[in-house]
Chains A and B, each alone.
Chain A
Amino acid sequence: MTTVPVNMTKKPEPHETYVHGHHWRSAEDEKDAAKLGMWLFLGTEALMFSGFFCAYAVFRMLYFDTWHESSKYYLNWKIGGFNTLVLLISSFTIVQAIRGAQLGRKMMAFWYLAATNVCALTFLVVKLGWEYLPKIQKGELPGGFFTYGHGPAGTTHDQVFLGIYWVATATHGLHVLIGVFIIGWCMIRTMKGHFGPKNYMFLENTGLYWHIVDIIWIFLFPMLYLVG
């Protein structure tokens, strides 16, 4: 084996010595593969949510007028709009975290990740505290558990609307929650020096995941809150 003269001024961080998995020909290939795999996964996410979108589209078509009223009645666009902004900002901060890793600035990556997680938690708190809790108290629950006596439509349409609202936003919320944990893990790995200019794949894929969560919300928001 060729010996390389090493005159390191300090112990290299994990990301500096990483080569690549044994079955890859180059780090470049490994990186491309990880990214392609991630995009395929994002495709499956989009298709999974398409079930909600499809159900929404069908009932929106059938119950065009009543859903207009239901949305205005049950949902507050200000809360939804606030959460939209929070998610958009968090998308930007995670991009900056990746930039930090690419530039080799560990603390920049760390703090931007922290900011992202603050946004994510804000989203969850607003969602739970200002939307879910009051709804549960009032009985504005999905379908069969709907006990709130007189909606604007007063028909089963309310129940389907709330049904789709609950399953779609709860599934999305679950994705946000998972995101919080992954980003938290990224923060730990950043501090351990796992990410650097040559190796930030995990961070970048986390970013991709976070962006798809954002994109799904970008669609859910007008569909549910801005039906008017």
Chain B
Amino acid sequence: MNRTWIIVGATSSMARAFARKVAEDGCHVLLAGRDLADMKRTKKDCELRGAPSAYAVMFDARKPGTFDEICVKAAVQDGEINVAVFVGSMPEQSAIDTDPTLIDGTIQDSFTGPAQLLHRLAPLMEERGCGTVIGVGSVAGDRGRLSNYVYGSAKAGFHTYLAGLRNRLGRSGVHVVTVKPGFVDTAMTWGIEGMFLVAAPESVADDLLKAVKKKRNTIYTPWFWRYIMLIICHVPEFIFKKLKI
């Protein structure tokens, strides 16, 4: 059967690594993101690696008008439709402290924008009765903390949305995977102090594909973050509120 992956936030290195793998696996690829010139290069890369077709379209989480084209392009693809959402933005917490209006954009990029897009694609996927949604959240969404709680709360919202979507789409044979990456070696983390156990985007992409195959609900990548977060989530609040992590 024809398989298509819609890859949202396609300019990130994680998305690029994922796009390559599904392209080599023979899937059609629809790349959606903000830097069209860059995505055109990735589109060609995907075609040359084995995607029977690849497209690059504009997507801006803050401009729902840009979702139309994605939905139209998805509808004309035969067969199984899959979506992987890699978007999100994390301004410095200090920048948000000086300009709280930045909160709106962070939430649009990391939660409400992708949620709206998924909501619009959901009926099509239900109709096809197959396929997978991958939503990339973050370990930051598991507990609010000093250094990035706005980003964290947006991702927490996204996690909850994905859980609900899983509940809904599961009834029609569509699976939803929630992904919580720890530190990944991307442009976002390059040169940031305090990074440890950083995962390569390629190994994250491998984990995603494994999760799709095994129909996992929520995964941490790399896997040991499940245990790091288990500990972090179990620190009593009266202690946690004094920590600086």
Asked whether A and B interact, the reply is no
